[in-house]
Amino acid sequence: MNPTARELLDAAARTQVADDIDLLPRISARLERRTLAQTVRARPATAILAGLLALALLSGVAYAVGHSLGYIPGIGLVEPGSELRVLAEPVVVERDGITLTVTQGLASADKTVLSFRVENIPESALARDYAEGETPPPTCTPSERLRLPDGTTLSPTGGQGGGWQLGFEFRDTFDPLPADVNQVTLLVPCLLGTAPGLAPENWEVPLAFVPAPPDLTVVPVIEITPSPPPTVESGAGPAATPAPSPISIERTIDLEDGTILIGSFHSIKTSDGLATSPYVWYVRITDADGNDVPYEYPSDIDLPAGDEHTSSWAYKIMGKDHAWPLTLTVESMDATLPDTQVSFEFDTGPSPQAGQEWVINQDLNLGNHVLRVLTATRNPDGYGFSFQGDGAITGLGVEIRGFSPYVAPAGGGGGGGDGSLSAGVAYSGSVPEGQLTVFINSVTINVPGPWSIQWEPKGAAGQPAPTSTPGPAACVTDETWAQARASVPASVPPDLSGRLVFFGPNADGTKYGIITYELADGTREFVTEGSWPIVSPDGMKVVFMGNDGLAIYDFASGQTLNLPGTDPTDYRMVWSPDSGQIAFIRSSTDRVMTINSDGTGQRQVRDNSAVYHALVGWADSDHLVITEPGPEGVIIKSLGLWDGSTSDLFTMSSNKADTVVSQDGQWIAFTSSLGGMLGNGLYVSHPDGSQRTMVAALSGRALYFPVWSPDNRWLILGLPDPDDPVDGIAQALVELSSCRVIPLPDLGGEVYSWGREQGGP
Amino acid sequence: MRATMPGVTLDDDEAVRRMKSGDIGGLEILVRRYQVRAVRAAFLVTQDEPLAEDVVQDAFLRLHQRIHHVDDRRPLEPYLMRSVINGALNAMRRERKSTSLDADSGPLERRLQTASVETEVEIAEQAREVLDALSQLPPRQRAVIAQRYYLGWSEQEMAQALEAPPGTIKWLLHAARLRLRELLGSERSAP
């Protein structure tokens, strides 16, 4: 047999890293030192909805429109018929430049819901980063409350939230307000992520509730009772006999951009008499053509806590034009064997040493499964055991009775896909020795399905399935890209000028480095070893990453200048419009730096360590363009070269974006996620966000580092190569004025930049 | 490992949500699930098991501290492993354990295609050779080897994680592979 690279590396790592390491005790100890009680918010899931769900199931109607619940986007499910009250208006409180905005609020008979957002937390107020091994500094996790006029306070009973470095947003659920209480105060002791004393604390935000206006949007919740019968397909598990479905759909909410499905997973009995866990690892949703349907987890649906019989779920199906019906499929479930008295023995002998191994090779019968105990190994603080299962066993625990381990009541372990398993026990005191009896417990079995259930909107049956999902208008789409690859010979158009600089191998493949390609005559030249080559706007030089730091190659002289004081972690270089300076990121210390093109004048522009900024270009001779994560997506910012001041330019609706500024600073190209689609788009605009145009919209594909032509007429886009979808990158030329899409011929590498014609404008 | 689909791990998502709601049990789930893989990945970079364990502990503590900054719509494992690999590289910088070998290098898989391995003993011997060779690479090259071949990331994923063009990833991998090939080749031909 030939091991794979992964197996060999795993084998190499296994020689030093045992299967049964357990970091939990040490992590727990360090967490306790961080005064866990101050940082953890207790938010037991509300049980109110469980009762509502149970009531809803009594309707006995296949599809019944909301005589039970309604849905308010951002708020969640609300009880019908109750007198709803909403915030009189959003409330904004500002302190030291930080704003806290209560954006939404609702009081109903069963709960109170508040959404609030905090923005503009200064970087200086954030808890400092800490080095490995250092005790983490105290950091605020807010424990907000609602104070009523009589002084009583309510703590959240549920909710969700998240942050983006300089701000955060929470949606909290509280117990219902008394009917006669309309004035409350939101108390926020401290701001998420800040260090004590560095940002305003003890925020008090007065809130007023008023009766909801008649036009308040309450989307009807459609009850589905009973659930459609299960579609049980063949499988080794309970499929052989009719069984209750482990998945049910109980509610749907029809929205403009999709549909929320709410339902439950249920424990079922297998043919072995085992009860499966109702907690399911993954659900696949497909349309009638078998295509995967994208879905999200709605953040405003509070689900009831599960138990050993049932767990709840909510998915938002993205889009409305699907080939109906949709099928929700559960491929497998887990079941735990009843505790057995199955055990094996081994004798450590006197004074066993760490690392000592005993070969056991004993088969154990666990119900219908056979487990072979392979070895026992003495660890410094206990024992580790290796097993070979039949593939169905996915986890087990071990216990040496009479001795109390400190890791867990019984050591645990997991399995690999090949049936191999491991488990261990560790002790804080003396480790048992001699003739030992090891009991096997907590054996988890994978029960294969599949189980599936179908759903379609009322009235969808009989409707023709859409043939395609219309996408936004763009030059590069799945369709135009496929057409271009099929019909256009891969060649560089003759009207292009300048020099492409790319990364690739030399002629005999012995070196990788920087290669130039003259568009005028097709001359190709390997220049030097290195990577990430960026041509200066005047087309005369190229800066690149060398082995020891940054370097500049001068096309005219053929000389390479190693930039002094740069290091191998420097990257993301961008030239100033006059070709006199280079800005770059020093990743070893998280700094934005600049250096003159003659190697002099290296200096730090910004400490990037508190908040991550990507450097994307120069706006003019005095300002860089950077990006920063924000509440609505990535913010494009201007960064003053001399005073470090920043100002927002505009926000992209994407959590992560590749952004490139044109060589003259007049345009930016940026990738962005597409709303409601699992894909990426590419846009161009001026740096202030004006004249924004979509250039590419691709479903389920990434786009890489666009490259501007010197005259801003063309872009080169990197796209996954259909012929090598894992590692291959294909590049395409896109003419912005005409939307012409031309596959770039294989130049033997990846184009990084496009230099102007020598002597050109 | 549990049943997962590419890019989607529902249980991770739930664990993160539990942590966000203040339930420390969410962290326990993640530690139990990823600790061995994470320590091995860190070890491949640090070549120091205790240091690798420290790195992974720190990565989990950072995850706990910053859980409200974690986007629970995205897969957690790449986020966590990126933290582990970067933590391992930082630890190497701090410990000054970097070697100065920055020469080019070559494919690990080619090493594996050169000989049919018949026994576990031979696998163990090859593992030792690989470990010795890895120890002679600079940490950055070890990191890309661990990401590519141990964690199984594609060059595209590595490019996105490291925010580098795919070609630059290819370059780093090329250098690491070439150096490995030299090291493994010379060892294999030794008497």
Give the CATH number for residue B71: 1.10.1740.10
Looking at the domain assignment, is residue A343 inside a domain? no
Lookup result for tokens 């629970």? B72
Q: What pLDDT sits at residue A181?
A: 94
What value, to the nearest 5°, has the Cα angle with vertex A202 and ends A199 and A204?
Answer: 120
Tell me how far apart the alpha carbons of residues A223 and A56 are, in angstroms, rounded to a whole number. Answer: 7
Tell me how far apart the alpha carbons of residues A347 and A330 are, in angstroms, rounded to a whole number. Answer: 44
Q: Are strands A693-699 and A476-477 parallel, antiparallel or unpaired?
A: parallel
Looking at the domain assignment, is residue B102 inside a domain? no
Tell me how far apart the alpha carbons of residues B89 and B41 are, in angstroms, rounded to a whole number. Answer: 11
Tell me, letter by letter, the H, E, C secondary structure of A518-550.
ECCCCCEEEEEECEEEEECCCCCEEEEECCCCE
Least confident range of A67-81, A171-185, B40-54: A67-81
Considering the domain architecture, whether residues B58 and B26 belong to the same structural domain is answered as: yes
Q: What pLDDT sits at residue A67?
A: 47
Looking at the domain assignment, is residue A18 inside a domain? yes
Give yes or no for residue B144 having a pLDDT over 80: yes
Give yes or no for residue A146 having a pLDDT over 90: yes
* Span A344-348, average pLDDT: 93
Considering the domain architecture, whether residues A702 and A725 belong to the same structural domain is answered as: yes
Domain boundary residue, one of B37, B60, B95: B95
Could you tell me what percent of chain B has a pLDDT over 70?
Answer: 62
- Output the furthest CA–CA distance in chain A (Å, rounded): 87
Considering the domain architecture, whether residues B22 and B48 belong to the same structural domain is answered as: yes
Domain boundary residue, one of B95, B119, B144: B95
Q: Does A750 touch chain B (CB under 8 A)?
A: yes
Tell me how far apart the alpha carbons of residues A214 and A710 are, in angstroms, rounded to a whole number. Answer: 57
Looking at the domain assignment, is residue A222 inside a domain? no
**B147 or B26, which is more confident:** B147
Q: What pLDDT sits at residue A214?
A: 80
* Span A251-268, average pLDDT: 90
Residue B157, domain extent: 108-189
Looking at the domain assignment, is residue B100 inside a domain? no
pLDDT tens figures, A263-293: 988 888 887 788 887 777 667 888 888 777 7
The pLDDT confidence band at residue A236, using thresholds 50, 70 and 90, is very low
The pLDDT confidence band at residue A610, using thresholds 50, 70 and 90, is low
Chain B from 111 to 150: CB within 8 A of any A CB: 111-113, 115-118, 123-124, 126-128, 130-131, 134, 140, 145-146, 149-150
* Span B49-60, average pLDDT: 87
Q: What DSSP assignment string belongs to A444-504? A: EEEEEEEEEEEE--TT-TTSPPPS-------SEEHHHHHHHHHHS-S---TT--SEEEEEE
- Cβ pair B84, B59 in contact under 8 A: yes
- Cβ pair A479, A698 in contact under 8 A: no
Looking at the domain assignment, is residue A344 inside a domain? no
Considering the domain architecture, whether residues A292 and A321 belong to the same structural domain is answered as: yes
pLDDT tens figures, B78-109: 778 888 887 787 777 555 433 322 222 233 43
Closest to A363 measured CA to CA, from A352, A374, A355: A374
Looking at the domain assignment, is residue A386 inside a domain? yes
Q: What pLDDT sits at residue A724?
A: 63
Considering the domain architecture, whether residues B116 and B85 belong to the same structural domain is answered as: no
Considering the domain architecture, whether residues A607 and A510 belong to the same structural domain is answered as: yes
Write the CA distances from A149 to A59, A572, B11, integer angstroms.
40, 56, 41
Q: How long a stretch of residues is chain B?
A: 191
Q: Edge to edge, what strands does the sheet with A614-620 contain?
A: A614-620, A623-630, A633-640, A646-652
Task: Say which DSSP state A238 is in.
Answer: G
The pLDDT confidence band at residue A188, using thresholds 50, 70 and 90, is very high
Q: What pLDDT sits at residue A706?
A: 86
Q: What pLDDT sits at residue A679?
A: 52
Write the CA distances from A757 to A134, A526, A706, integer angstroms.
54, 18, 20
Please name the member of A7, A13, A21 whose beta carbon is closest to the beta carbon of B44.
A13
pLDDT tens figures, A425-479: 777 678 899 999 998 877 878 888 888 888 988 766 554 443 333 334 678 877 7
Q: What pLDDT sits at residue A549?
A: 86
pTM: 0.54
Residues in chain B within 8 Å Cβ distance of A159: 21
Give yes or no for residue A755 having a pLDDT over 70: yes
Q: Which two structure tokens, joined as six digits, stand for B123? A: 């696998």
Give yes or no for residue B142 having a pLDDT over 60: yes
Considering the domain architecture, whether residues A108 and A207 belong to the same structural domain is answered as: yes
Q: Which two structure tokens, joined as six digits, stand for B96? A: 């000054």
- Output the furthest CA–CA distance in chain B (Å, rounded): 61
Q: What DSSP assignment string belongs to A113-156? A: EEEEEEE---GGGBPPP--TTSPPPP------EEE-TTS-EE--
Radius of gyration of chain A (CA): 31
Q: What pLDDT sits at residue A530?
A: 85
Looking at the domain assignment, is residue B177 inside a domain? yes
Considering the domain architecture, whether residues A485 and A510 belong to the same structural domain is answered as: yes
CB contact under 8 A, A162 and B33: no
- Cβ pair A379, A423 in contact under 8 A: no
Q: Which two structure tokens, joined as six digits, stand for A364? A: 């154990």
State residue A400 phi and psi, 5-degree precision.
Answer: -105, 105
What is the chain A residue with the closest CA to B131? Answer: A12
pLDDT tens figures, A191-216: 887 888 999 999 999 999 999 888 78
Helices (H), A353-431: none
Q: What pLDDT sits at residue B77?
A: 81
Q: Does B37 touch chain A (CB under 8 A)?
A: no
Q: What pLDDT sits at residue A348?
A: 93
* Span B17-35, average pLDDT: 76
Q: Which two structure tokens, joined as six digits, stand for A543? A: 């800066």
Residues in chain B within 8 Å Cβ distance of A121: none
Closest to A452 measured CA to CA, from A625, A298, A247: A247
Tell me how far apart the alpha carbons of residues A196 and A228 are, in angstroms, rounded to a whole number. Answer: 54
Closest to A511 measured CA to CA, from A499, A528, A498, A497: A528
Least confident range of A66-80, A310-324, A395-409: A395-409
The pLDDT confidence band at residue A594, using thresholds 50, 70 and 90, is very high
Considering the domain architecture, whether residues A683 and A606 belong to the same structural domain is answered as: yes
Give yes or no for residue B116 having a pLDDT over 70: no
Considering the domain architecture, whether residues A551 and A606 belong to the same structural domain is answered as: yes
Lookup result for tokens 């006029």? A149
Q: What pLDDT sits at residue A645?
A: 85
Distance of CA B46 to the CA centre of its chain: 10
What's the N-to-C CA distance of chain A in angstroms? Answer: 62
Identify the helix (H) or strand (E) that includes residue A357: strand A357-366
The domain total for chain A is 4
Least confident range of A375-389, A402-416, A627-641: A402-416
The domain total for chain B is 2
* Span A77-92, average pLDDT: 85
Identify the helix (H) or strand (E) that includes residue B38: helix B25-46
Considering the domain architecture, whether residues A540 and A650 belong to the same structural domain is answered as: yes
Bridge partners (DSSP) listed for residue A98: A95
Q: Cβ of A195: how many Cβ atoms within 10 Å?
A: 16
Considering the domain architecture, whether residues A332 and A428 belong to the same structural domain is answered as: no
- Cβ pair B58, B52 in contact under 8 A: no
Considering the domain architecture, whether residues A23 and A74 belong to the same structural domain is answered as: no
Burial class (CB in 10 A: 0-12, 13-18, 19+), A166: buried
Q: What pLDDT sits at residue A69?
A: 81
Q: What pLDDT sits at residue A68?
A: 65
What is the chain B residue with the closest CA to A656? Answer: B160
Tell me how far apart the alpha carbons of residues A129 and A125 are, in angstroms, rounded to a whole number. Answer: 12
Q: What pLDDT sits at residue A76?
A: 87
- For chain A, what is the mean pLDDT? 78
CB contact under 8 A, A532 and B113: no
Tell me how far apart the alpha carbons of residues A648 and A62 are, in angstroms, rounded to a whole number. Answer: 52
The pLDDT confidence band at residue A294, using thresholds 50, 70 and 90, is confident
Chain A from 481 to 540: CB within 8 A of any B CB: 502-504, 511-512, 529, 531-532
Closest to A12 measured CA to CA, from B143, B150, B90, B186: B150
CA-CA-CA-CA torsion for A130, A133, A134, A139, nearest 10 degrees? 60
Q: What is the CATH number of the domain that holds A676?
A: 2.120.10.30
Q: What pLDDT sits at residue A261?
A: 93
CB contact under 8 A, B68 and A192: yes
Considering the domain architecture, whether residues A261 and A384 belong to the same structural domain is answered as: no
Considering the domain architecture, whether residues A80 and A168 belong to the same structural domain is answered as: yes
Give yes or no for residue B66 having a pLDDT over 50: yes
Looking at the domain assignment, is residue B3 inside a domain? no
Q: What is the CATH number of the domain that holds A303?
A: 2.60.40
Domain boundary residue, one of B63, B95, B127: B95
**B37 or A677, which is more confident:** B37
Chain B from 55 to 74: CB within 8 A of any A CB: 55-58, 60-62, 64-66, 68-74
Looking at the domain assignment, is residue A632 inside a domain? yes
Residue A364, domain extent: 5-32+349-433
Could you tell me what percent of chain A has a pLDDT over 90?
Answer: 24
Residues in chain B within 8 Å Cβ distance of A627: none
Considering the domain architecture, whether residues B38 and B84 belong to the same structural domain is answered as: yes
Q: Which two structure tokens, joined as six digits, stand for A758? A: 């020598």
pLDDT tens figures, A349-407: 998 988 889 999 999 998 888 999 999 988 777 888 888 888 788 777 788 877 765 44
Could you tell me what percent of chain A has a pLDDT over 70?
Answer: 78
Considering the domain architecture, whether residues B167 and B140 belong to the same structural domain is answered as: yes
Tell me how far apart the alpha carbons of residues A97 and A122 are, in angstroms, rounded to a whole number. Answer: 8
Considering the domain architecture, whether residues B87 and B127 belong to the same structural domain is answered as: no
Considering the domain architecture, whether residues B148 and B175 belong to the same structural domain is answered as: yes
CB contact under 8 A, B32 and A163: no
Q: Helices B25-46 and B49-65 meet at what angle, rounded to 10?
A: 140
The pLDDT confidence band at residue A422, using thresholds 50, 70 and 90, is confident
Least confident range of A449-453, A735-739, B9-13: B9-13
Q: What pLDDT sits at residue A225?
A: 65
Identify the helix (H) or strand (E) that includes residue B128: helix B120-135
What value, to the nearest 5°, has the Cα angle with vertex A422 and ends A421 and A426?
Answer: 165
* Span A604-619, average pLDDT: 79
- Cβ pair A343, A396 in contact under 8 A: no
Q: What is the CATH number of the domain that holds B176?
A: 1.10.10.10
Radius of gyration of chain B (CA): 18
